[in-house]
Chain A
Amino acid sequence: MSEQQFLALISQHQGIIHKVCRLYRNSPEDREDLFQEIIFQLWRSFPSFAGKSKITSWMYRVALNTALASFRKNKPDIAYAAVLPDLPEEQPDDHQAIRKEKLFSVLRELDEVERAIIALYFEDMSYAEISSIIGISEKYVGVKLNRIKIKIQKLLTR
């Protein structure tokens, strides 16, 4: 498959990469770096993608693997603006954005493997699909998911 075909596929499913970046990195800069790293790793492992699994499953596997294994910068999350704005930036759905960020912050309180499993569950993947991406048995996927759901409920109700 050519570079153009690869880019078309990635462009179509890039939402997956955005979600993984948001799940594993806190700052926009770190998310941007991880996004780029994932695209690079997808391109590198593309020749070994035999088409046996769905393209989304393969993308999730590589994206999660990259997020878990790549080094992150140990620096405080401070963003400097180049110019001070005269007026506050207009954000019509600010409330919704804050609420969404709160929800993601709940997910980020899970450990890294739990985050990977719940992400795949949210994508409506079957236990068999989750099992093949993560590399654990279907039974253990069920056990893990139950624990994660209980943990999330506790985090949401605290």
Chain B
Amino acid sequence: MELDTLKSAWNDNGGKNKNTEELKMMLRENKHPVLRSIRTQLIIEVTAWAFFLLTYYNMFDGDRRPGYSNILLVSAVVLVLLHSITGYLASKNIVKGNDLKKSLFKYLTDIKIYAIVSVSSRAITIICVLLFFTSTITFTIDKYILLAAICLLICIQVYVLARIWSKRIKKIRATAESLKE
């Protein structure tokens, strides 16, 4: 089997051609496979957090907790929502340069920043929620042990998230680096 055979196989792509109507549907943002799932997640998150914000003050005795813990909790919710919206916008913007090399290096820079924001915002959010719920607790040894266990779980979750991002970045970096002369 020669390179020419490979070339002829390449030129006979075999993909089923789509008609203009099918192509037109694909231009719509609400038909985009990735964006649609992010948007659904975003809608669920916004609804759930909005419900939480409307009810937490009565349900979790917000009035009896210190002001700073209320502010931290609301800030955490806003941070979660901002992070999700930024992620949605970033997913739309993949092509970033006039050639593949420039575009990949720019994408690499952006994804690194987004990964740092993503991991740190998750950590900050969890800390803020934890501070809110522990702000009025009188700690005993048992409660300290429970808090330590929760902190450990949080650390594991943040570590796993960081590893996922690290794998993604490593893959993009390897591809971009292979273009260096």
Contact = CB atoms under 8 A, between A and B. Distances in A.
Interface string B5-29: 1110111111101111001101101
Interface size class of A (residues with CB under 8 A): 35 or more
Contacts of B2: 156
B181 interface: yes
Interface in A65-117: 65-66, 68-71, 97, 99-100, 103-104, 106-107, 111-113, 116
Nearest to A149: B3
Contacts of B168: 71
B112 interface: no
A36 B15 contact: no
Contacts of A107: 6, 10
B26 A39 contact: yes
B137 interface: no
A122 B2 CA distance: 13
B175 interface: yes
B178 interface: yes
Contact of A14 (B6, B10, B17): B17
Contacts of A97: 14
- The 7 tightest CB contacts between A and B, nearest first, are A18-B15, A135-B101, A135-B99, A103-B9, A39-B26, A122-B10, A33-B33
Interface of A: 3, 7-8, 10-11, 14-15, 17-19, 21-22, 33, 35-37, 39-41, 43-45, 61-62, 64-66, 68-71, 97, 99-100, 103-104, 106-107, 111-113, 116, 119, 122, 132-137, 140, 149, 152-153, 156
Interface of B: 1-3, 5-7, 9-15, 17-20, 23-24, 26-27, 29, 31-35, 92-95, 97-104, 107, 168, 172, 175, 178-179, 181
27 contacts: A7-B27, A10-B23, A11-B18, A14-B15, A14-B23, A18-B14, A18-B17, A22-B15, A33-B34, A65-B103, A66-B95, A68-B104, A68-B175, A69-B94, A70-B94, A71-B168, A97-B14, A100-B12, A103-B9, A113-B179, A132-B99, A134-B99, A135-B97, A135-B100, A135-B101, A136-B179, A156-B1
